[in-house]
Amino acid sequence: MRRFGLPIVVLAVLGSVVATTPVANAENNGLAAKPPMGWSSWSFIRKAPTAAKIDAQADAIKSSGLAQHGFQYVNLDDFWMKCDSNGPTVDGNGRWVADTGKFPGGIKAVADHVHADGLKFGLYVTPGIAANAVKNNSPIAGTSFHAQDIAVTSTQEKNYNCKHMYGIDYSKPGAQAFIDSWAKQFADWGVDYLKIDGVGSPDIPDVKAWSQALRNSGRPIHFELSNNLSIADATTWQQYANGWRTQGDVECYCGTGGASFPLTDWKHVSARFDTASNWQQYAGPGGWNDLDSLEIGNGDNTGLTSDQRRSHLTLWAMASAPLLLGTDLTAIDATDKAMLTNDSVLSVDQDAIAAKRIVKSGNNQVWVKKEPSGAYVVALFNTGTSGNATITVTWSQVGITTGSVAVTDLWAQKAKGTVSGSYSATLRPGETRLIRAVPTS
């Protein structure tokens, strides 16, 4: 085994304010009191989802025991809809239809299977109205209006699969009714989570319309925005959604021959440290900073070492980010299953507090949050790709000013005794140490 040098790094504090229990300030639909946990199809299945594949992943969440540890959403991402040369094909009211070659029983049949496993079902949409709806001048359900009354054909909305989506003029009668009818259809299918992709600041009217439509759909539906949202509009995302992607895709798209593996690499994961820090203040009950999929489940095949995968989950947990697995859960790796069923670590995510980064010095970082019990959760990271580092943080930097501290290593799930003054950890490249520190006085 290669031995690395051990540079001692005593880190300086960047700020003295520790993240504590936040006040709810997000979408008022009563959902997402805690960050959602589950699975999403994009990372592994990508452009080839089928009913059988989604059903199999749902069954795997149940049979593996992940559901018992809080993983509950099964989200079908892009490429579920049928396309022709003019974009998404539509029903009689201008809404996308499922590709029955992939989903012979329709989307509701998949949702029913997921629900039968005791889980929740998520689906995917993009902003605007389909060109085929405009071409057909589809009537808007429940109104006397039609697609051509609300479409802005000079605006091309982003759609990564079928393309050919036009903008909507929400000042026009029938515009909100169109989104309402689509949301009601999703609710009738059994959708519990909706991701709207390809939205940005110019699409705030779409975000508002979908937020209203989902609240009025008759079914509780978590509303997630994607991707790479502008932090300048963070308070708007807070107001109208339950989560928002803070960066581009975590996938590296670096597999050969079109294969999914590797799903990501350390460069794409470690880029989230600065983003999580920048967005920290906007997370809280009702709405969360979404760092993208969690690529843990298939061992080293995902493109990360075991140390990097633990750091991956630790950062997401410290940020109280959604934990949506992107891996193949029908072939779950034993090491990764142990990570994903470590309730001591998962509880850090589910405490619903986004940690503050108090230290950044080269590859060495320290993050802190204070839980309602008075305990502090502290994460130390060596984000480098070579060279061990010994990281030392004082209790005063953490926010503990008097007495000694009882330390528990959350990954090892072992008490480490009482520690006075400061805490140190020597970490391999990509390794983390996650502790709960309880003042004894």
DSSP classification of residue 91? -
CA–CA separation, 245 vs 423, rounded Å? 33
CA–CA separation, 403 vs 380, rounded Å? 21
The continuous run of DSSP H or E covering 38 comes out as: strand 37-40
CB within 8 A of 15, min separation 6: which ones?
A: 356, 358
Active-site residue (options: 249, 265, 300, 307) = 249
Beta-bridge partner residues of 195: 124, 224
Mind giving me the DSSP string for 173-206? TTHHHHHHHHHHHHHHHT--EEEE-S--GGGHHH
Asked whether 430 and 383 are in contact (CB, 8 A), the reply is yes
CA–CA separation, 85 vs 71, rounded Å? 38
Is 112 catalytic? The answer is no
Q: Is 419 left (phi over 0), alpha (psi -120 to 50) or beta?
A: beta
Active-site residue (options: 117, 149, 180, 197) = 197
Is 336 catalytic? The answer is no
CA–CA separation, 42 vs 75, rounded Å? 9
Alpha-carbon dihedral of residues 43, 45, 51, 56, nearest 10 degrees? Answer: -80
CA–CA separation, 198 vs 184, rounded Å? 21
Q: What residues are annotated to the active site?
A: 197, 249
